[in-house]
């Protein structure tokens, strides 16, 4: 921002912000500096403006966040994909119309898995501007771990991959055609379509400033460069040690790639102006070159998981690498009648996680009408999920790892069911069924104003707080089976990001006495209940 003061014509400057909150904050700061003419936009907004300027369809642009998921539900697209889906099922030893109930159940779940996998591939394919070849497609799915090592090592993996490749090609063509005809787009389209359609923005700039460049995907950088004139100057700011968005299409090479593409001169900045001395000491164990600028000593305290609800107070920030510990902590806060603030997307994810334990008809059953009340429901759920969890575990080769997985998944499920049962009896007068219980839970975790904030580390990036709590700190960096080198690097980066959110006090929460919840996909992630 200081560089902008030296530019004669502020109107020739474009500042590319990473997200809306940063865009609003930067705009406010430029306004305070008297630099109102500087354009500040998110990269998605910039992509949208390109599409809008080139829109000749007669239709306004409409945002359909789940465009491809809704597209996959259409019978005409399912018909186009049917042959490829049946081939994938056959390769995996399943028949879609099997009469055996267990095999039919497994086949249906594999179809759900295929659809989810195609959605995941589609987002990353567009974000990374992957070339339309089977070789590049294979490199994409392996890099992002869309298939695990066991699946990749199968002798017929290349044959299966071919059907995924052809299926995705059909889906992408239909998606692009839908956008071309109606201008219905999703967020990734804002970055992908201007490049795919070779469109240009209505105006370009002499100076392009890019924030958080370590987390840009290829499509995001492509949008930023479209706004630069041929002789424009680019100033990109980023920290490779804060690269944490690989799952969205960026990767740990983003910073270096931009440096190479732009032939940039690197100007190091290793001074941290946010954190006190004791926090810097911890950060130095992760990256040795960081230097603190504050004179304050700060406070670093280790506490137990069950102490958090007693120590945390309104305005505090609690962050976690995984969602499972957040769910368990939420249970503790609700048990203590304390409302907390969680990002609306994470609220939706938590409620869906609890919903997905049950079949859809079970959510609205009047629990008091069951023979043994909630116990009837609980027994049925535990029995059903015991089979599913055991089936999921079959893909784990090591017997010890398999045993740990089964025990931890069952323990986590039992904790969720026990919490819901407890709340049922506490709220029985107003909550006769699970739907009503979950609505109450949602209200407890959707507080506003000066509440305790709970977030994943990913969503806490860019935030800072006087008091920060890190859940299961001694488990960071998070490790799991089949982790790729770039994922290991990003896990270390996540630990660094977590530590450096604290302005004054940092609380390191020791691991809850629960075996590690596996943060990896499985055949039965989504169930057709």
> Six-digit token pair at 100?
């055996």
- Domain of residue 456: give its range: 271-339+447-528
With respect to residue 64, please indicate whether it lies within any of the assigned structural domains.
no
* Domain shared by 282 and 142, yes or no: no
CA atoms 47, 49, 50, 56: torsion sign: positive
CATH of the domain at 198: 3.40.50.300
pLDDT tens across the length of the chain (529 residues): 788 888 999 999 999 988 887 888 889 989 998 999 999 999 999 999 999 999 999 999 999 999 999 999 999 999 999 999 999 999 888 776 665 666 776 777 788 889 999 999 999 999 999 999 999 999 999 888 888 777 787 788 999 999 999 999 999 999 999 999 999 999 999 999 999 999 999 999 999 999 888 889 999 999 999 999 999 999 999 888 888 777 667 777 888 888 898 889 988 888 999 999 999 999 999 999 999 999 999 999 999 999 999 999 999 999 999 899 999 999 999 999 999 999 888 999 899 999 988 988 899 999 999 999 999 999 988 988 888 788 777 767 778 878 888 999 999 999 999 999 999 999 999 999 999 999 999 999 999 878 999 999 988 887 899 999 999 999 999 887 667 788 888 899 999 999 999 999 999 998 755 444 444 444 334 444 3
* Domain shared by 463 and 520, yes or no: yes
With respect to residue 329, please indicate whether it lies within any of the assigned structural domains.
yes
With respect to residue 40, please indicate whether it lies within any of the assigned structural domains.
yes
* SS3 of residue 191 by DSSP: helix
Alpha-carbon distances of 49 from 24, 43, 223, 473, rounded to whole Å: 18, 10, 10, 42
Per-residue HEC secondary structure of 76-96 comes to HHHHHHHHHHHHHHHHCCCCC
Cα separation, 148 vs 522, in Å, equals 10
This model's pTM is above 0.85: no
* Domain shared by 458 and 326, yes or no: yes
* Domain shared by 350 and 417, yes or no: yes
> Six-digit token pair at 257?
């790639």
* Domain shared by 92 and 175, yes or no: yes
* Domain shared by 418 and 351, yes or no: yes
Cα separation, 122 vs 127, in Å, equals 9
* Domain shared by 198 and 256, yes or no: yes
Tally of domains in the chain: 4
Which of 216, 244, 262 corresponds to the end of one domain?
262
With respect to residue 89, please indicate whether it lies within any of the assigned structural domains.
yes
With respect to residue 376, please indicate whether it lies within any of the assigned structural domains.
yes
* Domain shared by 40 and 22, yes or no: yes
């Amino acid at each position: 921002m200081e560089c902008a003061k030296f530019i004669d014509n502020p109107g020739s400057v474009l500042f590319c912000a990473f997200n809306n909150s940063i865009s609003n904050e930067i705009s406010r700061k430029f306004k305070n500096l008297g630099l109102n003419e500087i354009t500040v936009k998110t990269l998605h907004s910039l992509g949208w403006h390109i599409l809008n300027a080139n829109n000749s369809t007669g239709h306004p642009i409409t945002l359909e966040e789940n465009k491809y998921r809704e597209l996959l539900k259409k019978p005409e697209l399912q018909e186009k994909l049917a042959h490829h889906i049946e081939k994938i099922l056959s390769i995996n030893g399943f028949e879609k119309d099997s009469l055996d109930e267990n095999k039919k159940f497994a086949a249906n779940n594999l179809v759900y898995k295929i659809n989810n996998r195609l959605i995941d591939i589609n987002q990353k394919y567009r974000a990374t501007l992957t070339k339309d070849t089977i070789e590049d497609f294979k490199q994409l799915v392996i890099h992002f771990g869309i298939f695990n090592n066991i699946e990749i090592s199968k002798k017929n993996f290349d044959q299966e991959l071919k059907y995924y490749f052809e299926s995705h090609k059909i889906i992408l063509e239909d998606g692009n055609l839908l956008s071309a005809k109606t201008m219905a787009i999703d967020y990734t389209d804002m970055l992908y379509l201007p490049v795919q359609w070779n469109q240009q923005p209505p105006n370009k700039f002499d100076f392009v400033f890019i924030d958080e460049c370590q987390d840009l995907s290829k499509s995001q950088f492509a949008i930023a460069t479209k706004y630069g004139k041929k002789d424009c100057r680019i100033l990109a700011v980023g920290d490779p040690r804060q690269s944490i968005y690989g799952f969205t299409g960026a990767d740990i090479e983003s910073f270096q790639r931009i440096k190479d593409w732009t032939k940039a001169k690197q100007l190091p900045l290793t001074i941290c102006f946010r954190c006190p001395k004791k926090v810097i000491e911890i950060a130095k164990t992760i990256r040795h070159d960081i230097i603190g600028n504050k004179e304050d000593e700060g406070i670093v305290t280790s506490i137990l998981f069950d102490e958090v609800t007693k120590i945390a107070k309104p305005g505090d920030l609690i962050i976690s690498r995984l969602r499972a510990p957040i769910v368990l902590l939420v249970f503790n806060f609700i048990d203590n009648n304390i409302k907390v603030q969680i990002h609306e997307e994470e609220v939706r994810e938590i409620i869906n996680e609890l919903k997905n334990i049950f079949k859809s008809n079970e959510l609205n059953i009047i629990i008091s009408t069951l023979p043994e009340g909630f116990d009837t429901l609980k027994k049925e759920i535990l029995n059903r999920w015991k089979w599913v969890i055991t089936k999921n575990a079959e893909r784990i080769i090591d017997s010890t790892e398999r045993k740990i997985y089964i025990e931890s998944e069952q323990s986590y499920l039992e904790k969720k069911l026990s919490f819901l049962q407890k709340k049922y009896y506490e709220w029985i007068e107003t909550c006769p069924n699970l739907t009503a219980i979950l609505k109450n839970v949602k209200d407890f975790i959707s507080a506003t104003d000066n509440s305790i904030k709970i977030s994943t580390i990913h969503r806490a990036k860019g935030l800072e707080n006087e008091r920060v709590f890190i859940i299961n700190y001694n488990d960071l960096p998070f490790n799991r089976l089949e982790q790729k080198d770039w994922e290991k690097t990003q896990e270390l980066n996540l630990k660094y990001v977590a530590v450096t959110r604290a302005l004054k006090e940092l609380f390191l929460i020791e691991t809850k006495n629960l075996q590690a919840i596996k943060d990896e996909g499985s055949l039965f992630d989504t169930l057709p209940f």
